[in-house]
Amino acid sequence: MAIVTATGHALWMAFTMLWQIFWGLSLGFLFSAVIEVGVSKSEMSRLLPDASPRSLTVASLLGAASSSCSYAAVAMARSIVRKGGDFTAAMAFQFAATNLVLELGVLMWVLISWQFAAAEFIGGPIMIVIMVLLFRLFVSGPAKKQAIDQAEKGVAGSMEGHAKMSMNKQEGTWRQRLSSKAGWVAISHSYVMTWSMLWRDIGAGLLVAGALGAWVPDSFWKLFFLEGHPTAAMIWGAFVGPLIAVASFTCSVGNVPLAAVLWNGGISFGGVAAFIFGDLIIVPILLIYRKYYGGRMTAMLAAIFYLSMVTAALLVEMLFHAFGWIPHARHTVIADATITLNYTTVLDFVFGGVFVVLATVFFRTGGPAMMRMMNGHRTDRPVGNARG
């Protein structure tokens, strides 16, 4: 009976967290779809010819305008490399596509506080700069060439179809795409496909967060995160945050509920940021890097990404501490989440309606067939593009 009660408590916590974040997910995925259709990414090789500040800035902006799914971001980064874009710029794109997207910031704000959303958008560029510097110091030209040669082989990984669709040529101006019927059909396709890519990660993140929040006592978290020792806790949190992400196996927005649990438990402010950053070094993605770029470059990427995440998290925490922006309260939404008639419920119904409308358009305009084609990697012709 105790097991049933404990399981029920964990599942209820997971469901109430979903209730709190659903509208934010739907809003974020809608904006992501609008940007995906409005922003052309078909000429990456021209836009990202080198690792200059200009190319890195463009790569970061294009990444922020792309999907927040880590697997799709990694696949699109490989597409950039295969189309002639610079390897370092492609990695900057990949970082931005998972850490500088709107839906991640919305969920951080809703579940924890605005300071964490700000930390992601400030820490993301810092992490990219550190990553670029480490690339210049430790990654040689021959190592890059070997990785590019491996990328050219086109070994299939996850989300190849989504990457190819995102990289297809888009016709007309962004105004023409967003004001046309075809544009909104494309938006519905991108919106539903984002849900299809992320629902497993979101569900796993909610279940893990619910279980940890319900079953693990606060005393364990306080001991593990060295609460009461501010300096040691800051350093430990930054180093252990990405490793917890590796152990959780979820990515991007799926990590946010667990981030709220960790913050409740006593992890440092920078530790939360490092945990969110860590989605690009989880084991399934490291295995994809090995397919895309070879074993040697995968080891380099894992080490450089980890050091970039830790260093950026420490710098963000010190910066926010200097400005007095680190929140003192650790009582996040998940601690006492309930379902009542409030603004969350109203927004859930509104964006539930958005979900129904766009899903209906998706099913009536060939979306399932397109998804099947993408899953089979048969993307020889443009799909889901808006025509002005």
User: What percent of the chain stands above pLDDT 90?
Assistant: 33
Closest CA to 62 of 88, 87, 78, 42: 42
The answer on pLDDT for 255 being more than 60 is: yes
Higher pLDDT residue, 144 or 183?
144
The answer on pLDDT for 276 being more than 50 is: yes
What is the per-residue pLDDT across 175-206, written as a single tens digit (0 to 9) for each? Answer: 676 778 888 888 888 888 878 876 777 777 77
Across all residues in the chain, what is the average pLDDT? Answer: 81
pLDDT number for residue 385? 39
| Domain coordinates in residue numbering, the chain | 12-343
Query: pTM score > 0.85 for this model?
Result: no
Higher pLDDT residue, 364 or 201?
364
Q: How confident is the model at residue 46 (pLDDT cuts 50, 70, 90)?
A: confident
pLDDT number for residue 246? 85
The answer on pLDDT for 1 being more than 60 is: yes
pLDDT number for residue 160? 55
Q: How confident is the model at residue 386 (pLDDT cuts 50, 70, 90)?
A: very low
What is the per-residue pLDDT across 102-117, written as a single tens digit (0 to 9) for each? Answer: 778 888 888 788 999 9
**Owner of token pair 């409308």:** 357
Section 305-323 average pLDDT: 96
User: What percent of the chain stands above pLDDT 70?
Assistant: 81
What is the per-residue pLDDT across 289-306, written as a single tens digit (0 to 9) for each? Answer: 988 899 999 999 999 999
The answer on pLDDT for 336 being more than 60 is: no
